[in-house]
Each structure stands twice: as structure tokens, then as C-alpha cells.
Amino acid sequence: MGSVSDAPVMLAAKKMLEDFGVPCEFKVVSAHRTPDEMFRYAESAVTRGLHVIIAGAGGAAHLPGMIASKTSLPVIGVPVRSRTMDGLDSLLSIAQMPKGIPVATVAVDNSANAGLLAVRILGAKHPALLREMDRYRKRMKVQVLNMSRSIQRGRKKKRA
């Protein structure tokens, strides 16, 4: 992430990866304040054994795009909500990449989805992760159906 102030948002990605048993590192590397470290980070990512990079940043959110320009690993950008423009600046900075350097972009502050997307990417090589993702989707379906049933029961009680 681009700053320690992004940590509260980015923790959801870390938790998601941990829930799926995927090891990850959690660090601050700024495109503007520590550009040399950012380049070193991106250039050494493959040899250090990384498979996917999740990069969260806000405002002039150049971190995901710049990392993607220095590595061939898949990069997922998380637009962190900014104080002044509610995250629209972050979203556009990350999504509007030039042709040739793709960055997958999730919704503003939705680092949980970045974690899930990383698991799906890794799942192409590790079938156990895909099976775990199947179970995750099934659990979600059951939760939604249960919520729907309990709402309907509540409405019936009110009418009775």
C-alpha cells in the first residue's frame, strides 16, 4: 500500500488471504515518496516468490500501475477512498491504464475482493484453492438465502 493510512482498508485483503491459507506480505511502498524502493520491490517480486501483487493507494493512486509497469506478475489495484474526492480520483487513477499495462481494479475500499481475486488467480495453478472458493461461494449463498427467509418471516409476523 502507498501509506500506513491505507492499512485499515488493506487489512481486509490480508484477512481474506489468511482465511484461504495464502501467505502474504503486508508493506508500505510509495510510488511518489519512495519510488526507488517501489521499483526494487516490483523488480524483485518474481525472484522473491510472489505470484500476485495487490496494491492499494488513494488520491493520485499511481502505485498499482507503476508496479505493473515493472513486473509481469498480475497486479490488482485497490482504490482507497480519498478525503477530497471520495475515491473517484483513486478509482480513475488505477482503472484508466494505457493499453499494454493491465491492472485489475476492484471497487473503492473493497480490498476483500482483491484478496478473493488473488485467490482465484492462484487457484488456476492450485486446485485446492478453487475448491475452497467453491465452498466460500456456497456459504455466501446459504447466508443470503437464510437472510431472505428471516426477513420474510419477520414481515409475515408483522402482518399477523
Using CB under 6 A, list all residues that contact ligand RP5.
2-3, 5-6, 30, 57-59, 80
Cβ proximity to ligand RP5: between 80 and 112 the closer is: 80
- Closest approach, Cβ 102 to ligand RP5, in A, equals 20
Minimum CB separation of residue 110 from ligand RP5 in Å reads: 15
CB of 140 to ligand RP5, least distance (A): 29
Q: Which of 110, 94, 108, 125 is nearest to 22 (CA)?
A: 125
- The position carrying cell 517480486 is 45
For ligand RP5, which is the closer residue by CB, 19 or 89? 89
Task: Specify the residue, 3 or 69, whose C-beta has the smaller distance to ligand RP5.
Answer: 3
Q: Is 50 exposed, middle or buried (0-12, 13-18, 19+ CB in 10 A)?
A: middle
- Give the Cα separation of 155 and 160 in Å (integer): 9
SS3 percent helix, strand, coil of the chain, rounded to 5, is 55, 10, 40
Complex with ligand RP5: residue 77 or 123, whichever CB lies closer: 77
